[in-house]
């Protein structure tokens, strides 16, 4: 998507939102007055003021960057959001829909007629359309597909066929290509035929007649070298290439490691089929980081903060249900020791401490290891080293913290034996946490699963039930 000259980049990221909110407030105020007054005259005046505010708002939106409008839409409650959305020209709707979060996109698409949706989506490139497609109604998609030419259809089909976390999903098709047997002078003249170049073009792709990638010509090299030189003399022949089936995360790591702005994507035969740009990577990294955070808190996806209660319930229920199941199991473990608790009620008071420290420590271990696995820093042969280290940390923490809490318990309940059991139980639960904290993610990895997924729930389940069992079990054996 090539930007028009008039679109403004805002230095103050909050300002576009504040401007729009002020205009909406004035507009709502007038609406309110109209509602309360009678008589044709007042209504006429109010109607005019009303229209003036909307016109001002509309022209303000016109000059805004689509990403700024997306940001504003996300921050407005539903009625205001739809008011602003109606004022945006339909040709701009497509790029804005691409920028908003999934939850807000849904609320906007719901408010649009199929005809509007087709008009909006027609403005998009094939790779952008592929991002939007899953959220569009089926009949809209069919209309859109019929409106595309053969090449675009092929691109759309290709882009939609790649899984979400693959390079194919990050790829766009906006490449500028040149041949290797021409001089830089020719390339410079060729570029002057363009009105504009695709966003984030930092290099041209050098291909032969079969579209096989021969190398890349960085703008830097094009600019610092003698124009009489041939492209083949100046281009970088050994260039990093991506494949559409590569993992998006690997591509992101390559962009970070090598400070890339764009990279070519080639098929199995080495034919150039697209490119990945750093802005796609940046969005991916930000989103992946956010998804991790949301997942850790048990949210299925990002929420529209102004969404109806029911949407939030749906987004959160799975995690609550799983946790209730594990809490119920832990509760049944306690239930098995009710006789012991009846004899020594202090056990009920102290047991959450034993379970809690195991959960916290286990989560620390698992976070560390998931991270190291994701970065490829741990190989299978090194698992033993990890076990030794984590068990060492657990023993140390168990003796220190367990000893401290055990002493406090001994003082509180005037029973050295209770203190010793407490210390032993805390140490054992920490060892359990370390053991399971290393085993779960490395095992998931070996089974080809994502080691991050569900690790936190699982470890807490183990350390809760395990902690109760160890503490109440030891107490039953040695104290009663």
Site residues (CB under 8 A) for a second copy, limited to 238-257: 238-242, 250, 253-257
To the nearest whole angstrom, how small is the minimum distance from the Cβ of residue 348 to a second copy?
A: 4
C-alpha 305/C-alpha 76 separation (Å) is: 9
**One of 119, 327, 399, 474 touching a second copy (CB under 8 A):** 327
Q: Which single residue is written with the structure tokens 């829909």?
A: 97
To the nearest whole angstrom, how small is the minimum distance from the Cβ of residue 360 to a second copy?
A: 5
Question: What is the footprint of a second copy within residues 151-190 (CB under 8 A)?
Answer: 188
To the nearest whole angstrom, how small is the minimum distance from the Cβ of residue 463 to a second copy?
A: 12
To the nearest whole angstrom, how small is the minimum distance from the Cβ of residue 55 to a second copy?
A: 23
Closer by beta carbon to a second copy, 136 or else 175 = 175
Q: Which stretch binds a second copy (CB under 8 A): 32-40, 66-74, 133-141, 153-161?
A: 66-74
CA distances from 434 to 34, 384, 440, 459 (A): 67, 12, 10, 10
Torsion from C-alpha of 90, 94, 99, 101, nearest 10 degrees: 90
Binding mask 348-387 for a second copy (x = CB under 8 A): xxxxxx-xxx--xx-xx-xxxx-xx--xxxxx--x--xx-
Backbone φ, ψ for residue 401 (5° rounding): -70, -40
C-alpha 80/C-alpha 233 separation (Å) is: 58
The tokens for 38 are: 């009678």
H/E segment holding residue 289:
helix 278-296
Is residue 82 part of the contact set for a second copy (CB under 8 A)? no
Is residue 268 part of the contact set for a second copy (CB under 8 A)? no
Give 265's Cβ-side CA count (13 Å radius).
24
Q: Which residues contact 178 (CB under 8 A, 6 or more apart)?
A: 187, 190, 204, 205, 206, 207, 217, 231
To the nearest whole angstrom, how small is the minimum distance from the Cβ of residue 43 to a second copy?
A: 29
**One of 248, 273, 405, 435 touching a second copy (CB under 8 A):** 405
Question: What is the footprint of a second copy within residues 453-472 (CB under 8 A)?
Answer: 464
The secondary structure of residue 356, as a DSSP letter, is H
Binding mask 416-455 for a second copy (x = CB under 8 A): ----------------------------------------
Pairing relation of β-strands 213-218 and 177-178?
unpaired
**One of 245, 338, 477, 480 touching a second copy (CB under 8 A):** 338
The beta-strand segments (E) located in 272-360 are 272-277
Q: Which of 310, 284, 315 is nearest to 297 (CA)?
A: 315
Closer by beta carbon to a second copy, 146 or else 309 = 309
**One of 91, 164, 199, 245 touching a second copy (CB under 8 A):** 199
Closer by beta carbon to a second copy, 91 or else 256 = 256
Kindly report the number of other CB atoms within 10 A of residue 152's CB atom.
16
Q: Which stretch binds a second copy (CB under 8 A): 35-43, 141-149, 333-341, 440-448?
A: 333-341
Residue 84 near residue 56, CB atoms below 8 Å: no
C-alpha 213/C-alpha 217 separation (Å) is: 11
**One of 48, 55, 233, 320 touching a second copy (CB under 8 A):** 320
Q: Which residues contact 16 (CB under 8 A, 6 or more apart)?
A: 10, 64, 68, 69, 71, 72
Closer by beta carbon to a second copy, 17 or else 136 = 17
The tokens for 403 are: 């000893």
* Site size toward a second copy, by CB under 8 A: 132
Q: Which stretch binds a second copy (CB under 8 A): 106-114, 122-130, 403-411, 441-449?
A: 403-411
Is residue 296 part of the contact set for a second copy (CB under 8 A)? yes
Is residue 396 part of the contact set for a second copy (CB under 8 A)? yes
C-alpha 468/C-alpha 348 separation (Å) is: 10
With b meaning 16 or more CB within 10 Å and e meaning fewer, what string describes 388-409? eebeeebeebbeebbbebbeeb
Closer by beta carbon to a second copy, 58 or else 200 = 200
**One of 156, 330, 433, 458 touching a second copy (CB under 8 A):** 330
Q: Which stretch binds a second copy (CB under 8 A): 82-90, 160-168, 207-215, 331-339?
A: 331-339
């Amino acid at each position: 998507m090539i930007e028009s000259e008039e679109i403004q980049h805002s230095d103050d990221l909050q300002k576009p939102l504040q401007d729009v909110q002020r205009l909406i407030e004035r507009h709502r105020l007038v609406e309110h007055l109209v509602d309360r007054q009678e008589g044709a005259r007042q209504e006429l005046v109010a109607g005019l003021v009303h229209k003036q505010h909307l016109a001002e708002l509309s022209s303000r939106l016109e000059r805004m960057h689509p990403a700024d409008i997306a940001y504003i839409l996300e921050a407005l409650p539903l009625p205001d959001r739809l008011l602003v959305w109606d004022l945006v020209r339909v040709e701009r709707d497509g790029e804005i829909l691409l920028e908003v979060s999934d939850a807000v996109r849904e609320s906007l698409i719901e408010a649009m007629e199929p005809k509007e949706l087709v008009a909006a989506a027609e403005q998009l490139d094939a790779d952008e359309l592929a991002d939007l497609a899953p959220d569009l109604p089926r009949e809209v998609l069919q209309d859109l597909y019929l409106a595309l030419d053969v090449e675009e259809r092929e691109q759309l089909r290709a882009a939609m066929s790649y899984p979400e976390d693959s390079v194919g999903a990050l790829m766009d098709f906006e490449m500028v290509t040149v041949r290797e047997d021409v001089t830089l002078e020719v390339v410079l003249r060729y570029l002057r035929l363009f009105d504009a170049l695709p966003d984030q073009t930092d290099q041209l792709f050098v291909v032969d007649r079969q579209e096989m990638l021969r190398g890349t010509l960085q703008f830097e090299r094009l600019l610092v070298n003698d124009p009489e030189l041939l492209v083949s003399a100046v281009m970088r022949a050994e260039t990093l290439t991506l494949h559409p089936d590569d993992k998006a995360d690997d591509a992101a790591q390559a962009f970070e490691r090598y400070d890339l702005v764009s990279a070519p994507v080639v098929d199995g035969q080495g034919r150039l089929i697209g490119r990945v740009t750093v802005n796609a990577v940046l969005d991916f990294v930000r989103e992946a980081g956010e998804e991790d955070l949301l997942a850790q808190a048990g949210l299925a996806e990002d929420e529209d903060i102004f969404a109806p209660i029911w949407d939030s319930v749906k987004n959160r229920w799975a995690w609550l249900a799983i946790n209730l199941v594990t809490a119920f199991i832990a509760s049944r473990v306690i239930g098995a020791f009710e006789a012991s608790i009846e004899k020594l009620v202090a056990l009920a008071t102290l047991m959450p401490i034993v379970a809690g420290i195991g959960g916290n420590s286990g989560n620390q271990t698992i976070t560390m290891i998931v991270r190291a696995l994701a970065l490829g820093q741990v190989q299978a042969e090194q698992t033993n080293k990890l076990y030794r280290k984590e068990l060492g940390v657990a023993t140390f923490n168990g003796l220190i913290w367990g000893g401290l809490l055990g002493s406090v318990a001994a003082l509180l309940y005037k029973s050295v034996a209770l203190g010793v059991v407490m210390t032993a139980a805390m140490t054992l639960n920490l060892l359990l946490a370390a053991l399971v904290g290393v085993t779960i993610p490395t095992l998931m990895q070996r089974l080809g699963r994502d080691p991050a997924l569900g690790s936190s729930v699982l470890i807490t389940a183990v350390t809760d039930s395990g902690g109760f069992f160890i503490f109440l079990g030891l107490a039953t054996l040695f104290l009663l």
